[in-house]
Amino acid sequence: MKKWIAPAALFLPLALAGCSHPQPVYVAPEPPPPAVFSAIAQQAFHDGYDAGRRDMQAGRQYDLNRHPRFRNPPVAPEAAEDYRHGFREGYNAAFHGAPPPGY
């Protein structure tokens, strides 16, 4: 009866350790911005997507106003709304995984 205790004590930790293999993580590629976006909105889409992805990786909640580029776009004042629109769509695509409208 005691013959099986020694092998069991040896193989039990090995059997449990077999479950610790790292699992691959799939990271979806960034979707391209819609062709109908202006050049400024396309760049803003990339900026927003990167910001959203960083927020998700850090475990932060959805909040566009956290980002200075959304609050104060790095473009001329007349292009600010176009930049914000592209940034918002890229940020949404990162958080929700859906292509922007008009795509």
Q: How distant, in Å, are the alpha carbons of 26, 64, 68, 92 from that of 55?
A: 17, 10, 14, 12
Q: Tell me if 65 is assigned to some domain.
A: yes
Q: What mean pLDDT do residues 19-29 have?
A: 65
Domain count, the chain: 1
pLDDT, position 96: 82
pLDDT, position 5: 72
Nearest to 87 by CA among 36, 50, 54, 58: 50
Distance CA 46, CA 33 (A): 8
Residues 6-17 pLDDT 10s: 666 666 666 666
Residue-range definition of the domain harbouring residue 82: 38-96
Q: Tell me if 11 is assigned to some domain.
A: no
pLDDT, position 98: 56
pLDDT, position 86: 95
Q: Tell me if 14 is assigned to some domain.
A: no
Contact of 34 with 100, CB cutoff 8 Å: yes
Residue 103: pLDDT band with limits 50, 70, 90: very low
Q: Tell me if 46 is assigned to some domain.
A: yes
Q: What sections of the chain are H helices per DSSP?
A: 5-17, 39-57, 68-71, 80-96
Q: Tell me if 68 is assigned to some domain.
A: yes
pLDDT, position 33: 85
Q: Tell me if 87 is assigned to some domain.
A: yes
Q: Tell me if 71 is assigned to some domain.
A: yes
Q: How distant, in Å, are the alpha carbons of 21, 52, 56 from that of 69?
A: 40, 12, 17
Q: Tell me if 80 is assigned to some domain.
A: yes
Question: Distance from CA of residue 102 to its chain's centroid?
Answer: 21
pLDDT, position 90: 93
Residues 54-100 pLDDT 10s: 998 888 899 999 999 999 999 999 999 999 999 999 999 988 875 55
pLDDT, position 34: 81
